[in-house]
Structure 1
Amino acid sequence: MLVIHATFPIDPDRRDEALELVEELAEDSREEDGVVDYRVATDVGDPNVFRFFERYEDEAAFGSHAETDHFEAFEAALPDLLSGEPDVTRFDVESASSVEL
């Protein structure tokens, strides 16, 4: 499994526009083959920071996602929405299991 965690600082003046675009991106991405989960949340300490949590079955699914129209639209709009540098981390995961609380 491939896991991506991405953090995007969003310009407060463009937040509503970014939120609309991100909602559409997440919804469309969850429908893709090979996407295990795709979630976006705002940071509780700064509502202008969007955090992406993405899980893919494999590299091919991640590659396919990067070629979709909805991802390309987000990628094209992103430079105008940012207020700083994004941070993206990739995790290659061999196994995962639920943790009981």
Structure 2
Amino acid sequence: MIVIHSEVPIRSDSKPKASDILERMAVESRKEPGVIDYRVTFDIERPTVARIIEQYKDWSAVESHDSSSHLERFQESIEPHMRSEPHLFQYEVTNKIEAEGP
């Protein structure tokens, strides 16, 4: 499984509009073949930082997502609302194990 974690700094005056754009992106992305999950949240400690957590079956699914038209539209739409460049982190996961909570 491939996991991509993005941190997207949003301008505070753009948060409502950016939230709509991010939500549309998540809904469209979850429809793609090979996408296990795609979620967007806002950081509690830094409320203008959106966190995107993407889970894919394999690199082929990532490549398909990267070439999708809705990703291109998203990038064009979100850019005016960003405070600075996003940070992306990619992980290759061999096992996903549900852990017990506290």
Residue aligning to 2:6: 6
Unaligned runs of 5+ in 2: none
TM-score, normalised by the number of residues in structure 2:
0.92
Alpha-carbon offset, residue 82 of structure 1: 0.9
Aligned CA-pair RMSD: 1.1
User: Whole-Å Cα distance in 1 between the matches of residues 68 and 84 of structure 2?
Assistant: 25
Report the AA paired with residue 90 of structure 2: R
Residue aligning to 2:16: 16
User: Whole-Å Cα distance in 2 between the matches of residues 45 and 39 of structure 1?
Assistant: 18
User: Whole-Å Cα distance in 1 between the matches of residues 47 and 28 of structure 2?
Assistant: 23
Alpha-carbon offset, residue 48 of structure 1: 1.1
TM-score, normalised by the number of residues in structure 1:
0.93
Alpha-carbon offset, residue 61 of structure 1: 0.4
Residue aligning to 2:29: 29
Task: Report the number of matched residues.
Answer: 101
Identity of aligned residues (%): 36
Alpha-carbon offset, residue 64 of structure 1: 0.7
Larger deviation: 51-60 or 73-82? 73-82
Q: Could you list the runs of 4 or more consecutive aligned residues of structure 1 that deviate by over 6 angstroms after TM superposition?
A: none
